[in-house]
Amino acid sequence: MAASFTALHALGEPPLPRSKPRVAITGSLGKLRQPTTLELLQHGWEVVVLDRRLPQEGERVEGVKYVQLEMSDFGQVAETFREVDSQYKGLDAVVHLAALPVIGQAASSHQFKNNTLSTYHVLEATRQAGIKKLVLASSETLLGLPLDPHPPESLPFTEESERRPESAYSLGKLVGEVMAEQYARWDPLLSVCSLRFSLICAPEEYAEFPSWQGDPRAFPEGNCWSHVDARDGAQAIRLALSSLKGHHIFLITSSTTCMCTPSSELVRTLYPGVPYEPVAGRGENQTLLSIEKARRVLGYEPRWNWEEEVERLRKEGIIP
């Protein structure tokens, strides 16, 4: 007997044939969400955005489904990963971006509970729904960033560097990676990538970069002058939705620091005595958070350069 309509579609969903893989993105307010939505749409994904706050009309992207979801409610998460009436039935992948993303933006206990519980809900709902591709937004901060008052043991940082969370936020990101490792152990067919994003920059934020030049101490973040363009972050997310099996961790940054000063001089100035081994062939301004693993395994290659973006802003009259 032929399958019923409801076996293939959600209740009330138009009975159109499904030709694209479907991915859900949690979180609608962060800098990564919009670029990630566009990146995945352009590469053949059907996109569903899930968050407690639905975007306003001017914030919506044509062709994207938007569904309200409270991440702290496991029942909602589990149901939403399976089916939403008139919207969809079944997901092929999940990109988990929803979080309280800034250290100190909420009481530490609340931030830790919010971020770790939502990550657990995503991992468990993914398991129950049989979804095999998952990308988690992790953070450079679990490496001990910002570094003040603790200097690094060596540079550049890699995925193998010691994990030293120094805040409730970064501790929560470490817990998320540990949970992901165990979920991948439970299910050998699961592909889960934890992307340790650096400071995420929207295009308009490059206007600040010229003010930091000339003084390595002027950069306020304490993260070895590291950053990543939100559009490159979206590229990394797309590439991480791969056929890799198991749990994989990647540092995701730009290919350079945010300074004109050579990286070796930056290290000598702020971290005298810290061993530094630059990657051959990557230039004198290369990032101090190595992206060699992401390049090698995912094929990640940053496309956006801060100096070119500053020049664009000057031509547009946005900065002098």
What one-character-per-residue DSSP string does 50-111 give? EESSPPPGGG--TT-EEEE--TT-HHHHHHHHHEETTTEE--SEEEE--S--STTSS-HHHH
Torsion of CA 257, 137, 154, 274, to 10 degrees: 50
Strands 46-51 and 22-26: parallel
Average pLDDT of 140-168?
Answer: 92
In a domain, 264, yes or no: no
pLDDT for the residue 310: 96
In a domain, 14, yes or no: yes
CB of 36 within 8 A of CB of 24?
A: no
Q: Alpha helix (H) ranges present in 158-200?
A: 168-186
- Quote the domain boundaries for residue 249: 7-200+230-253+288-303
Residue with tokens 């092929």: 92
In a domain, 311, yes or no: no
Residue scoring higher pLDDT (32 or 16): 32
Kindly report the CATH number assigned to the domain that includes residue 158: 3.40.50.720
Taking the C-alpha atoms of residue 97 and residue 77, their distance in angstroms, rounded to an integer, is 14
pLDDT for the residue 150: 80
In a domain, 298, yes or no: yes
Cβ neighbours around 282 below 10 Å, total: 17
Q: What is the DSSP letter of 285?
A: T
Q: What is the DSSP letter of 171?
A: H
Extract the tokens encoding 147: 């570094």
Out of 133-142, 216-225, 258-267, which region has the weakest mean confidence (pLDDT)?
216-225
> Which residue from 179, 180, 192 is spatially nearest to 134, judged by alpha carbons?
192
Answer whether residue 3 shows pLDDT above 70: no
pTM of the complete model beyond 0.85: yes
Q: How many residues does this entry show for the chain? A: 320
In a domain, 109, yes or no: yes
Which three-class secondary structure state does DSSP give residue 201? strand
pLDDT band at 11 (very low <50, low <70, confident <90, very high): confident
pLDDT for the residue 275: 97
For the chain, what is the domain count? 1
In a domain, 11, yes or no: yes
CB of 305 within 8 A of CB of 286?
A: no
Residue 230 gets the label, from left (phi > 0), alpha (psi -120 to 50) or beta, of alpha
Answer whether residue 2 shows pLDDT above 60: no
pLDDT for the residue 71: 96
Integer Rg of the chain from CA: 20
Taking the C-alpha atoms of residue 198 and residue 236, their distance in angstroms, rounded to an integer, is 12
In a domain, 51, yes or no: yes
Taking the C-alpha atoms of residue 179 and residue 34, their distance in angstroms, rounded to an integer, is 27
